[in-house]
Every structure is written in C-alpha cells, then in structure tokens.
Amino acid sequence: LVVEADARNLALGRHNFLLNNKDIRAEFGFLVAGRPVPATVPFFSNENPSSSSGFEREATEFADEVPARSFEETLEREGSTVLVLDIEGGEYPLFTRAESFHSVRLILMEAHPWVIGAERMAELLESLGEHGFALLEDIADGRFLVFSRERNEGKPCFLVA
C-alpha cells in the first residue's frame, strides 16, 4: 500500500505501477498517528511535488486539505512489516505520536533534520527507541536511516537484499 498526500505524486505513482505491471494499491491521504484523528489535515506544496509536506515552509505556494488516515489502524489492517518513507519532515509528528507500530519490523526513511531541527530529530530517534527500534544503518551522515526491531518471538529481523 502507498499512501500519498500530493495528488500529482499519486497520479504519477499509479501510472508508473501500471506501466510496470505492478499490482500496488495507491491511496490518497495523509497518515496521522495518535488520537483523535481529524477528518482532514493541511498539506503544503509548490511547483515541485517532491517537496510537498505537512509542514508549511518558505517555498510553500499553496495549501490543500487532505483526508487524514489513522497510522495505527492502517498498519494493523494491512499487516505492514516494512515502512518506506520520505515525507519531508512529517516523520516527526508521525513517529513521536505513534501509539503502536503493530507488526512493523523495518523502517527505511529519509530524515529531514533541516526541516524539523536537531531537537525534534533527537525526539524522533528517542521515540523509535521506545518502540523497540534500533538504528541498523546510517547513510550519508544521517540523511537516510534504516531502523530494525526484534519480532515479538524474540528473533532478530534482517533486511534481505
């Protein structure tokens, strides 16, 4: 499942999946952790869809209201074990407010300390640690991070490439 809050990226992703005969669901929305989950959330963008964000930034040209989806309910429903994300600073509220990561055992993410700041980045890392995640790999001085946690039965999980 792909959850995308920028309609341009959603259309591009769906087109790419179709061209490559990939049966991947791509849904419009924005994942929100914790309770309560609002009906919609503000989403900010500009001409460059890859810099869209839940954070308003200097380059913001327009804002939309996007349907909110519960992070925890989505993980539980989908049985997700791996999260891959590049959400332009949205990792901070998502991970620091998360009540549960259910069956997730691996997180691959682009970190955005230049968007959220060093203090919030430290809080994010602490929150992931409280949920049992440990840093497995740090690529490009903290820009790309891989986190892992042991499965419930106590066996370590490994990324198989």
Question: Which residues are within 8 A (CB) of 140 and not within 5 positions of it... i.e. 6 or more apart?
Answer: none
3-state secondary structure of 82: strand
Span 94-105, pLDDT tens digits: 999 999 999 999
What's the token pair of residue 77? 């429903």
3-state helix, strand, coil in the chain (%, to 5): 30, 30, 40
pTM, entire model: 0.85
Maximum distance among all Cα pairs of the chain, rounded to whole angstroms: 48
Query: What pLDDT is stored for residue 161 in this prediction?
Result: 33
Span 25-63, pLDDT tens digits: 999 999 999 999 999 999 988 888 887 888 787 777 889
Q: What is the dihedral of CA 146, 150, 156, 160, to 10 degrees?
A: -40
Would the pLDDT of 152 be above 70? no
